[in-house]
Amino acid sequence: MVDACGERLRALNPFITVTTIDDDPCNGTIALLKEQKLSGSEKKLQFSCVVAGRMKLDEQLALDSLCRQLKIPFFSIESMGLFGSFFSDLGTFEYYTTYEKK
């Protein structure tokens, strides 16, 4: 399923590099992110965003926490028949609002 999603993303924009990782997140993806964090290579990020699906909540929280520390946008998706959910953590940002005086 991961490779099929990767192929669809590549088809949408052939000018980007899409890397798919289909493994146990606790051993694979999280380990890669921890290694990147320890090496201090935030300026040369290995990932520009992380999309996770079909994961346990504690794994999602751990992955989101690491992505937030490394300032990498995190997306979590889940599909359950006719229902689904989507979560995005794009990091911290500021709002700027102006109000008109009446």
Q: Which residues pair with 89 in a beta bridge?
A: 74
Residue 63, classified by CB atoms within 10 Å of its CB into exposed (0-12), middle (13-18) or buried (19+), is buried
State residue 39 phi and psi, 5-degree precision: -75, -15
User: pTM here?
Assistant: 0.70
Strand partners, 85: 78
Q: CATH number of the domain at 2-89, please?
A: 3.40.50.720
The answer to whether the CB of 62 falls within 8 A of the CB of 30 is yes
Give me the pLDDT at residue 24, please. 66
Q: What pLDDT, in 10s, does the model give residues 68-89?
A: 888 888 999 888 889 999 999 9
**Residue 57, pLDDT score:** 87
Lookup result for tokens 């000018």: 15
What is the token pair recorded at 26?
A: 């606790």
Measured from the Cβ of residue 72, the count of other Cβ atoms closer than 10 Å reads 22
Query: Residue ranges per domain, the chain?
Result: 2-89
**Tens-of-pLDDT digits for all 102 residues of the chain?**
678 888 888 899 888 888 887 766 656 667 777 776 666 555 556 778 888 888 888 888 988 998 888 888 899 988 888 999 999 999 887 777 888 887
